[in-house]
């Protein structure tokens, strides 16, 4: 089971599977801007904003981890 999500981790998104290129940890779920991070614990995923290599972005609660 995955414990951290790092830049380069592949997540399942509504646009298909894609690698993370940027992570921002937000103070609250659904915020647009946060603190740039290189890795986050999986339990903080819902408070994050992820940018993907396919040019899309999503909130953490809209994604799921691929084992």
Q: What integer pLDDT is reported at residue 49 of this predicted model?
A: 96
| Domains in the chain: boundaries | 4-65
What is the pairing mode between strands 10-13 and 16-25? antiparallel
Q: What integer pLDDT is reported at residue 52 of this predicted model?
A: 97
pTM of the entire predicted model? 0.91
Place of tokens 């646009």: 15
DSSP assignment of 8-67: T-EEEETTEEEEEEEEEE-SSTT-S--EEESEEEGGGGGGEEEEETTS-EEEGGG-EE--
Place of tokens 């819902």: 46
Is the separation of the CB atoms in 7 and 57 below 8 Å? no
Residue 3 confidence (pLDDT) above 70: yes
Which pLDDT tens digit goes with each residue over 5-61?
999 999 999 999 999 999 999 999 999 999 999 999 999 999 999 999 999 999 999
Residue 1 confidence (pLDDT) above 80: no
């Amino acid at each position: 089971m995955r414990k951290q999500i790092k830049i380069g981790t592949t997540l399942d998104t509504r646009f298909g599977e894609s690698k993370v290129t940027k992570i921002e940890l937000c103070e609250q779920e659904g915020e647009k801007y946060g603190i740039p991070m290189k890795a986050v614990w999986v339990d903080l995923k819902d408070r994050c904003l992820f940018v993907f290599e396919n040019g899309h972005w999503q909130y953490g609660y809209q994604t799921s981890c691929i084992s």
